[in-house]
Amino acid sequence: MMSEFLTIGEPIALFGSTEVDKSLKDAGNFQKFLAGAEVNVAVGVSRLGHSSEYITSVGKDPFGEFIIDQLHENKVGTDYIDQTEDYWTAFQLKDRVSQGDPSIFYFRKGSAAAHFDQQVLDKIDFSEVKMVHLSGIFPAISDEALAAFRYFVKLLEEKQIRTTFDPNLRPQLWASQEKMVATINELASHAEIILPGINEGEILMGSREPEAIADFYLANGEATQTVVVKLGTEGAYVKQKDGTSFTVPGFNVDEVVDTVGAGDGFAAGLITALIEGKSLKEAIIRANAVGALAVQSPGDNDGYPTPEELAAFLKENKVDDLA
């Protein structure tokens, strides 16, 4: 299948607790979801009406079958998914909290995606691809994944395809913080648009100041043209290579159910707007809107909107003609 959008990552079968403020040790009831930062973006892009393809490896096991079924249900292409009998599909547990971010426990070491065969990348049809989303999670899961990630970036550079990069820091997946910081910043230098959060900025370059974070990444690599610093409920700060900068405020929501997946929804909103030729400011407004909708649902990507739902949300919030 030819697609406008590609991403590479590790999909996960997520078991989310349905019992609020009960620890993972004590919770007894869980609901199964499709999860994984990059797959969330692929689902978000597809739900907003764009052809989307996901690159990964899963096991020939119930979780792998569940993930492929969920991708089909969300109209995400699976042509570049390698299914293997040699390794198992990752899964994770997540608690339900009334405030703050939920706790997560991974079962992913040695998974199928961690043994991803980069030869799959040579089969990709890039002819219709307009944008590719990259994340700092996939290169963290194994040396093989990091090598495949670097090879993928090389292919994208050769084909001059636009890229977004979300650091998506997962310290528990790296050998050390020093290795994480050095590798993430080196990989970020190859991306056109970088999407750090202020907490990530503090870890990766020592500041929570949005402009300082943006300046660091604009100087970090020649390829980088735009840095979008996510400010949580306050929206996003944007700075471009030519010095242009602006802040786009976020949206207020009545109830935050689950913060996981909000950043991935933000990326999906930004990417789809840019594919449609909208201005960067319009793209950030959409990104903020998708992120706001995401936090109102318990699954990592269940709250991502259709074009009609996005238009209704923007109208309700008195933002016209930007869906």
Q: Where are the beta strands (DSSP E) in the chain?
A: 5-8, 12-20, 30-35, 52-59, 76-77, 81-84, 91-96, 104-107, 131-135, 162-166, 193-194, 226-230, 236-240, 245-248
Residue 102: the pLDDT is: 86
Residue 156: the pLDDT is: 98
Task: Kindly state the average pLDDT of the residues 204-227.
Answer: 98
pTM of the model: 0.92
Digit-coded pLDDT (tens) for 155-182: 999 999 999 999 999 999 999 999 999 9
* Nearest to 172, CA basis, from 164, 163, 183, 180: 180
Burial of 106 (0-12, 13-18, 19+ CB in 10 A): middle
* Nearest to 294, CA basis, from 257, 323, 250: 257
- Distance, in Å, from the CA atom of 280 to the CA atom of 163, rounded to the nearest integer, reads 14
Chain-centroid distance of CA 92 in Å reads 17
* Nearest to 16, CA basis, from 91, 108, 76: 91
* Nearest to 251, CA basis, from 232, 267, 238: 232
Digit-coded pLDDT (tens) for 254-292: 666 655 668 899 999 999 999 999 999 999 999 999 998
List the domain boundaries for the chain. 37-88+109-321
Pick the CATH number of 37-88+109-321 from 3.40.1190.20, 3.40.50.1000, 2.60.40.10, 1.10.645.10: 3.40.1190.20
Residue 111: the pLDDT is: 97
- Tell me the pairing of strands 81-84 and 12-20: unpaired
* Nearest to 47, CA basis, from 269, 292, 284: 269
Which tokens in the block code for residue 200?
Answer: 């990530």
| DSSP string for 127-151 | TT--EEEEESSGGGS-HHHHHHHHH
Burial 283-295 (b: 16+ CB within 10 A, else e): bbbbbbbbbbbbb
- Distance, in Å, from the CA atom of 186 to the CA atom of 204, rounded to the nearest integer, reads 11
Integer CA distances (angstroms), 146 to 91, 140, 202, 320, in order: 20, 7, 23, 42
Residue 303: the pLDDT is: 78
- Angle, CA of 182, 183 and 186, to the nearest 5°: 85
* Backbone φ and ψ of 303, nearest 5°: -90, 0
- Tell me the pairing of strands 193-194 and 162-166: parallel
| Active site residues per annotation | 264
Digit-coded pLDDT (tens) for 283-308: 999 999 999 888 766 555 677 899 99
Inter-residue contact 238 to 282 (CB < 8 Å): no
